[in-house]
Structure 1
Amino acid sequence: MRIAFFAPHKPIDHPQPSGDLIIGRTLHDFLKNQGHELLVASDSRLRHITCKPAQWPGLYLEFRRALKRVQEFKPDLWLTYHSYYKSPDLLGPHIAAKLGIPYVIYQGVFATKYRRNFKTWAGYISNKHALLHADHVFANKDRDFRNLSRIIIPEKLSRTYVGIEPDKFQYCAVSAEEIRNKHGLNGEKIILSTAMLREDVKAQSISDLIRAFTPVTKEITQTTLLIAGDGEARPRLEQLAAKQAGGKILFLGRVERDELYKYYSAADIFAYPGINEALGMVYLEAQCAGLPVVAYSTPGPKEAVDQGVTGLLSPEGDIAAMTTNLIKLLSNPSLCEKMGNAATERIKTHFNLTTNLKKVENRLNKVSLWRYS
């Protein structure tokens, strides 16, 4: 297949790492590695563009350029990654219609609450237009699938699953020893967390974790919390950590994704509250390496973690409950091991990237054939 690819929320070559970026990039790269020809139709970022009329003339010019670009490429279909009210696809439906090719959305999102706010109404309408004109939509979250089912017929809607490459996040005993020696943590129980430390819900999640961890140090003295990640909130969070737990919390700075398996291997538990988390690839990576997860029972962790089987979830904002869950796992190594083993198996079964994206590829092949039928 020849595929015109577009990511209106964040271009796949964007420098700022995120779970959404990883999903979009892996989708693009998987299809390319399968032998399909892909053209990035546009690298424009449409985040909040419906609220920025000053950018509309530039968007029109980009539409003309993208149309010419895609016409010359002669694709079999257009594939948009992640359209929702903040970043609706304003190019794909129109260009696909002009060229008479199928239009597909991977990770479509729909929620009627955004039609009730004048600030989000235009984005809601634009995104709904894209969804209704799609020949097929993939939903990779239960909540999105249920919402999309309200406006899209079953034949045009598929429930799919994100995933990781399990081989890249396997437990490694050598790496575990390396990290523990590097940070002088032999004999310590290690809780690992990783996030972008920006001033929003990410920083709030880490703040909650720091506060939940503080009482743990009094119950289980030989315990250290490692936090991987960087951002503008880091100095403030380091001050909070020093005040709350002294030297029991270490900030590692940014750790490249292909190095994270070493830290997962060295840890006993992965903990990240996940306030307003859509999914959280780190939950999948940590479980693949055999770590039980402690988090809030928000949509992202609930999607990635099997409560009571591969981790322990608590209500959002209930810091005391998170503390209890951390202590429960740290004081019960057999439970930790049992959940860690179950976590590894669950990732291999439900969140294997290759298996899940092959199903997407098969559906794309079928959708692309309608133009020739």
Structure 2
Amino acid sequence: MLKQALRETMRSIVPGFFYSLHFQNPLRYNKPLVDLCRQPFITSDCECPLIVMNISFYLPFTSLSGISASQTGTAADGDPASCSPTTAIHSDQHVHAGFSAVDHDHVVRNGFDGMMLCDFLRRRHTLHVASGYCSRLAYLKPWQYVRLAGERRKTMHLLPSTAPDVWLSCHCDETAPDLLGPYCSQRLSLPYIIYQPLQTSTDRQRLPTYPGFLLNRYALRAADLIFTNWRSDRQLLGQLVLQQRVYHLAPRIVPDDFTFDLVSRRALRDQWSTGERRIVMTAAMLRPGAKTVGVQKVIDSCAELHRRGLDILLIIAGDGLDRALLERHGREKLPGNVIFLGKVPRTELYRYYSAADVFAFPGIRESRGMVYLEAQAAGLPVVAFGDWGAADTVIHEKTGLLAPAVQPKLFTDYLERILTRRDERIAMREAAKIHIRANHDAAAGYRLIEEIVADLVARHRRAHRRLSAGR
């Protein structure tokens, strides 16, 4: 049995390492079905499908081993950790989601986005935990190959009883490639969808994660649909798969979670003894690297404006390994005019956004920059670098000002411009709130995903009926 498990595992894993030599189509046994299912999308009226979801999350507060995205009833706080590992939501209209939660112990850029998608889908559809297997760096652990083979067999044994319609995986990358989705969807003849994958270019790959890069690329090429909200990733993904299989969705939040609150604004400004000072806010994880460099830039820009005669109070939300270093830097550059809030619960951030006059953060190498969406939803104009994620969320000269990274002085000048031009600042505040609700509302984006998935399932069903009728 051990020899059989090893043979089965290596047969499914090794093609990922030698992808240029051998490519396995995930639905190779149903080639006519593949052709039919990859036609351009068309609007169709169909019964609501039962989506099978293999959702792999990175969570900041818990691992997902044994946690289901489906639950009976609704928890009072909506906390997914309260879900039962075996129960599922059933409604009159179903999407059946066979759900494989990949266990991770660290946070990635879009784990919360995956949680919001799951929470949205379970209101109308059924999600099932298919596996609690942790794929993080599993390709570097030979003893995990046997476990992977066992997880695949167990998943293949359990999922058919739930009659799934589609397999959906979330947030796979080279450190945690999807090792279940391509295999299981192929053998169950299910459409395979990946939500928010990460794919880096080959010139950035280095051992020991290069095998994971190849396995991740293998999964991406096997997918029938890929959803991404990063323009840079879309370009890379477009080099791997057909463009019509990659859907770009703008990054999204729930705007109501960050509504401007006048009461909080007045209370906090009184608490901080703001007086006539203008408040600049920034928010980031204070970890070594680009985040720390970005916060340092904000401190330096505010110090420069202070020298120019502007009375500024800088508010910094966030915590991390470099907090002490940044606090020293702040005391040197802005003595008495900088406040470190530490870690602020997400549910409380709207209060601090409401108290500020402008949000400033360069966003060096930021893929999305969710803080820009949150700040604008609360009515804050944004100052950032326009080379990275801010360009996808901020409208230059309308909801904020974007400086090229090669002109760091312009970042400071833009910050001064917003702080000194009251009418322009107020206009940007109102435009920012409208922009987020119109273009970055999470519910609207998830409804679009729901419609696209339902259409794919409908075409998949029609293809099966055609094949059955032709026999």
Q: Same fold (TM over 0.5)?
A: yes
Quote the residue 2:91 is aligned against.
none
* Partner Cα distance (1:61, 1:116) in 2: 30
Aligned residues: 372
* Shift in CA distance, 17/133, structure 1 to aligned 2, threshold 3 Å: closer
Quote the residue 1:20 is aligned against.
110
Pick the structure with greater CA Rg. 2
CA-based RMSD of the aligned residues comes to: 2.5
Alignment map for 1:1-373 (pairs within 5 Å): 1-7=50-56, 19-33=109-123, 35-51=124-140, 53=142, 55-114=144-203, 117-316=206-405, 318-373=407-462
- 214-223 vs 47-56, which deviates more? 47-56
Give the alignment's TM-score, normalised by structure 2.
0.73
- Please state whether the residue corresponding to 1:6 is helix, strand or coil: coil
Where does the alignment leave 5 or more consecutive residues of structure 1 unmatched? Answer: none
* Shift in CA distance, 40/176, structure 1 to aligned 2, threshold 3 Å: farther
* Partner Cα distance (1:248, 1:45) in 2: 46
* Partner Cα distance (1:369, 1:45) in 2: 32
Quote the residue 2:37 is aligned against.
none
- 108-117 vs 149-158, which deviates more? 108-117
* Shift in CA distance, 92/220, structure 1 to aligned 2, threshold 3 Å: farther
Shift of 1:306: 1.5
Conserved? CA contact 1:226–1:252, under 8 Å: yes
Residue identity matched to 2:291:
K
- 305-314 vs 40-49, which deviates more? 40-49
Residue identity matched to 1:20:
N
- Please state whether the residue corresponding to 2:443 is helix, strand or coil: helix
* Partner Cα distance (2:431, 2:299) in 1: 27
Residue identity matched to 2:119:
D
Conserved? CA contact 1:209–1:319, under 8 Å: no
* Shift in CA distance, 9/17, structure 1 to aligned 2, threshold 3 Å: closer
Question: Greater share of helix residues, 1 or 2?
Answer: 1
- Please state whether the residue corresponding to 1:348 is helix, strand or coil: helix
Give the alignment's TM-score, normalised by structure 1.
0.90
- 264-273 vs 306-315, which deviates more? 306-315
Over residues 286-342 of structure 1, what are the superposed CA-to-partner deviations in whole Å (9 max), with x where a residue is unaligned? Answer: 011111111122321111111222112223364422221211111111121122222
- Percent sequence identity over aligned pairs: 33
Over residues 240-277 of structure 1, what are the superposed CA-to-partner deviations in whole Å (9 max), with x where a residue is unaligned? Answer: 11111112110001111111111111111011111121
- Please state whether the residue corresponding to 2:110 is helix, strand or coil: helix
Conserved? CA contact 1:6–1:42, under 8 Å: no
Conserved? CA contact 1:274–1:296, under 8 Å: yes
- Please state whether the residue corresponding to 1:359 is helix, strand or coil: helix
* Partner Cα distance (2:224, 2:168) in 1: 10
Over residues 124-181 of structure 1, what are the superposed CA-to-partner deviations in whole Å (9 max), with x where a residue is unaligned? Answer: 2211211111111112122222332233224422222221122221211111112112
Conserved? CA contact 2:251–2:368, under 8 Å: no
Where does the alignment leave 5 or more consecutive residues of structure 2 unmatched? Answer: 1-49, 65-80, 82-103, 463-471
Conserved? CA contact 1:189–1:224, under 8 Å: yes
* Partner Cα distance (2:168, 2:52) in 1: 7
Residue identity matched to 2:348:
E
Conserved? CA contact 2:227–2:247, under 8 Å: yes
